[in-house]
Structure 1
Amino acid sequence: MNLALTRSRFQANAVATAGPHRILTMLYDRLVLDIDRAQAAQRAGNDREATEALDHAYAIVSGLASTLDVATWSGGRALMDLYLYLLHELLGCSIAGDADRTAACGALVTPLRDAWHEAAATVVADAVALIPTARTPPDAFGEPAASSELGVG
C-alpha cells in the first residue's frame, strides 16, 4: 500500500472518529494552513497554488458559516459577521493576488483558532473530570487488592 493512500485513510479515520470540538479545531488548523500556503505562494508568484489554497480556505469558512446557529449564543452574530468578512476578503485575495491582504486574513483567523483550541481543551478537561475514577476491587479480606499482583492497574 502506498504512503499517500495510508495517510488518506488515517486522516479519514481521524475525522470520522473525532468529536465536534475536535472537528472544529481541525478545520481551523487547516484554515490557517491554507491561508499561510496561499500567502507563501503569492509571494513566490505561484498564482495557481495560491488560488487553490484560497479556494479551500473559502470552502472551510463557508462551511463554518453555514453551520453556525447565531441564535445559540450571544457571540454568534459577531462570529457570523467575521465569517462573512473573511469570505469577502478571501475572494478579494484570490482576485488581487495580494499577499499582504492574505496575511491580514491569517492575522484574523489565527487568534480565533487558538481560542477554539483553548475552548476545546476545556471541554475535554471538564469531560474527563466527570469520569468516575476506577477503584481496585477488594480482596477476600475487604482490603483493596494490590494492583501489582497481576502487573496491571
Structure 2
Amino acid sequence: MATNNPYATYQHNTVITSTPGELTLMLYNGCLKFIQQAKNALENGDIEEKNQSIQKAQAIISELMLTLDRSYPVAENMLILYEFSFNRLIEGNIKNDSALFDEVSSIIMEFRDTWRQVIQINRQKQYTNVDEI
C-alpha cells in the first residue's frame, strides 16, 4: 500500500495487525463516532451529513449482526439489541430526534465497555499462561 498520507498508513496497519477482538472494539468505537457526528450535524442543520453518518453507524451495526457467533446463547440477546439499535437509528434519522441517537449510543457504549473488559481479561489470562511456561 503506497500512500503519501502517514495517517492513512497508520490506520491501515492498525487494522491489519489487530486481533478479531480489537477489530470488534474498533467497530463499536466507530459506530459511536458516527452517531456523535450525526448528532452534531443535526444540531448544525446539516441533514445530509446527519443522514450519511447514521447510515455509516447502521452499516457497522449490520456488520456486527452478520459476524455474531450464534453458537453462544447470549448471541440471540445481542442480536435483539443490535436490531433494536438499528431500528432506533432509522427512526431517529427520519424524525430528526437526537434522543433516539443517545439511546443507541448508550446501548453501544455498554457493548463496547463490556467488550473492552473481555479483551483485558483475555490478555491477563494470556500473560498468566506465558508466565507459567
Q: Normalising by the residue count of structure 2, what TM-score does the alignment of the two structures yield?
A: 0.90
What secondary structure is seen at the aligned counterpart in 2 of 1:131?
Answer: helix
Distance 1:132 1:124 in 2: 12
CA distance in 2, matches of 1:124, 1:62: 28
Partners of 1:133 and 1:123 in 2: CA distance: 15
State the distance in 1 between where 2:52 and 2:8 align. 19
* 1:69 positional shift: 2.3
Instruction: Show the 5 A alignment for 1:1-153.
Output: 2=4, 5-70=5-70, 72-132=71-131
Q: CA deviation at 1:133?
A: 7.2
Shift of 1:59: 0.5
Unaligned runs of 5+ in 2: none
- Structure 2 partner of 1:138: none
Letter in 1 for 2:44: A
SS of the residue 1:69 aligns to: coil
CA offsets 1:35-56 (integer angstroms, 9 cap, x no match):
1121122122111221111111
TM-fit CA distance, 1:80: 0.5
Shift of 1:104: 1.3
C-alpha distance 124-43 of structure 1, shift in aligned 2 (>3 A) = same
How many residue pairs get aligned? The number is 131
RMSD: 1.7
The unaligned stretches of length 5 or more in structure 1 are 135-153
**1:147 matched residue in structure 2:** none
Structure 1 length normalisation: TM-score? 0.79
> Deviation per CA, 1:31-87, whole angstroms, max 9, x where unpaired?
1111112112212211122111111100000001011122x2121100001111111
- Structure 1 stretches of 4+ with a deviation exceeding 6 A read none
3-state secondary structure, aligned to 2:104: helix
Tell which deviates more after alignment, 14-23 or 48-57: 48-57
User: What is the alpha-carbon distance in structure 1 between the residues aligned to residue 69 and residue 109 of structure 2?
Assistant: 22
**Structure 1 contact 37–53 (Cα < 8 Å) conserved:** yes
CA distance in 1, matches of 2:50, 2:126: 40
Q: Which segment is superposed worse, 32-41 or 53-62? A: 32-41
Comparing both structures, which one devotes a greater share of its residues to helix? 2
Report sequence identity in percent: 23
